Amino acid sequence: MSCIRGIIKPQRRRDWRFGRVFAIVLGAVGWSLYAAGVFRGDLVNAGGWGLVGQFLAAATRPEVGAEFLLLTCDAALKTLAFAAVGTFFSLIVGLVGGIFCSEVWWESVLGVGFGVPWLVVRGLLAIPRAIHELIWGLFFINIFGLNPLVAVLAIAIPFGAITAKVFAEILDETPRQPMLALLSSGVPPLSAFLYGLIPLAFPNWLAYAFYRFECSIRAAAVLGIIGAGGLGYQIYLSLQSLRYEEMWTLLFALVVLSGCTDLWSGLLRLRIGAPSRLDLNVLQVKSVQGGNSDRVLSGDRAIQFSLFAVAALLLFSFWYVQADFSKLWMPRTGELLLGVVEDAFPPDFSQLGQLFILCSQTLAMSILAIAFAGCGGIIFSFLAANNLLLAGGILAAGRNHNRWWGIGILVLSRFFLLFTRAIPAPIWALIFLFVLFPGILPGAIALGVHNLGILGRLMAEVTENLDDRPSKSLTALGASGAQVFLYGVLPATMPKFIAYILYRWETCIRATVIVGLVGAGGLGRVLTEQISSFDYPSVVATLLCFICLTFAVDMVSAALRRSLFSS
């Protein structure tokens, strides 16, 4: 009896925590809807429906003239090149920063414990991670002008800090037994670290590197909106001039580029045994089993071909971008940076009250966006999973099943998720501003649609990697498809789904800046205006508020994950 009580009490505590968190979430969503003005005033601009009709009709007749197709090809190659070069530098930053951010480095190699030095390194990398690449791009435009170097640095700096954090977590979660065996044999700590830990972490590093490359393509498209060039720039010009046929051609090119990268990444991850782009083991990144490192480092031809293709792509990208890296160490660059720093301090907090209001709007926008993206992502993730509705899948096993019906739903769902995540959130915001008045609601919907595509694909991979034995047992016992789904699939997937939603919320708060650029409200709008008018003291004050808000969301997200998933 005491054993039963020991089992029931933790379960009751867990159920109570879920109920409490659910109530908090509902309250936050309700407050966000109120802040967005959903319960008061007119939100819809009825005069914009005609433009929406023209925009949708243009999808059936995209511009296919030879001259414009050449322009589209050049823009796509430029976006790809920006993403490749930016990812290259972000991985260098991530590799170095990840090692110095990891607990295992300080404990096992330096033998000093992860105290103040570890906190200092993590703190230094947390600041660039909190600032969106668009803000970095606007800042570097003021320093370098419309130079390709702007897009490269704007991707490399924040993505490098993000990669360092993930690489450090992968290192800390990698099994340490081989390294400890080397240490006990008298091998120096640094050699034991390099030969006993790095090879085991490398497959997951490689998998995440390709995921980061996918993100870089989307970032390169966003940076085009501020004049960096590429598909984003051309899409923005076409939309501003209402040339919808040209815009659809560019959008299809962006979807094809993202789709090819997605396919390449998926095939490579399958070969190295890392089936998920970002594997969250509820609270932590789960490392690939060490046995797969041999395939990566020594023999698989498909992996070797991919690495060769990456090298060729990098050489082409550096040549195609033609970024003038000498500007980084030119005296004039140092003078401009020093001038910006002198102009920016002390920060101007005279509008602090207004900044607090904008912080609340930004927070409301992110909550609405992630709530929409989370609910939509869960629904479409099941439709896009290849082990549910297809013949032989979990929900089709042992039942009369139309094979083509399952294939059709799978293809349409995957295309929908690809399309929504390939199109940058500012473009979605501009489209929704056709029929919605400016404010945080169109920004929230735009971010929600974009993140729905990202979450839906990540969640689909969770479902595809499920252990199907419980579902098969339920089917063998005569359970219906609905019962198998409710008792065999949903409980196994929801913990990671919630972890992904909370993870994307941390990313979503940063992305509110990019929809603010096109008039969607929040801190992003005022920050864009301040940078454009060279009001650097106000920029610093706004950035400090934005960074504090980002850190607060990170802490709340981490606390929610601990509350939900701790025993």
Distance CA 388, CA 384 (A): 9
Are 179 and 95 in contact, with CB atoms under 8 Å apart? Answer: no
The reported pLDDT for the residue numbered 39 is 78
The reported pLDDT for the residue numbered 294 is 53
Beta carbons within 8 Å of 528's beta carbon, 6+ residues apart: 138, 513, 516, 517
Distance CA 529, CA 535 (A): 9
In order, the DSSP letters of 134-188 are HHHHHHHHHHH-S-HHHHHHHHHHHHHHHHHHHHHHHHHHS--HHHHHHHHTT--
Q: Which helix (H) or strand (E) holds 566?
A: none
Domains of the chain in start order, with CATH, are 73-340 (1.10.3720.10), 359-565 (1.10.3720.10)
Distance CA 83, CA 217 (A): 5
List the one residue out of 409, 499, 412 whose CA is nearest residue 462: 499
* 470 prior amide bond cis, ω within 30: no
The reported pLDDT for the residue numbered 12 is 55
Could you tell me the two tokens for 287? 């490392």
The Cβ-side half-sphere exposure at 258, using a 13 Å CA radius, reads 28
The reported pLDDT for the residue numbered 111 is 67
Distance CA 485, CA 382 (A): 10
List the one residue out of 47, 180, 193, 181 whose CA is nearest residue 106: 193
Distance CA 63, CA 61 (A): 7
User: Alpha carbon 137 to chain centroid distance?
Assistant: 18
Give strand ranges (E) for 260-419: 280-281, 284-285
The reported pLDDT for the residue numbered 310 is 87
Distance CA 276, CA 47 (A): 44
Spell out the per-residue pLDDT of the chain, length 567, in tens: 444 444 445 555 555 666 777 788 888 888 888 888 787 767 787 777 888 888 889 988 999 889 999 999 999 999 999 999 999 999 999 999 988 888 888 877 766 665 667 777 777 888 888 888 888 888 888 788 778 888 899 999 999 999 998 898 888 888 888 888 888 888 888 888 888 888 888 888 888 888 889 889 988 988 888 877 888 889 888 888 889 999 999 999 999 998 888 888 877 777 776 656 565 443 343 444 444 555 555 456 777 787 888 899 999 999 998 888 888 888 887 888 888 778 778 888 888 888 888 888 889 999 999 999 999 999 999 888 887 777 666 766 555 556 677 788 888 999 999 999 988 888 888 888 888 888 888 889 999 999 999 999 888 888 888 877 787 787 777 777 778 888 888 888 888 888 889 888 888 888 887 787 776 677 877 887 787 777 888 888 888 888 888 888 888 877 777 766 665
The residue with tokens 């929704």 is 432
Helix, strand, or coil (residue 176)? coil
Distance CA 264, CA 144 (A): 34
The reported pLDDT for the residue numbered 113 is 61
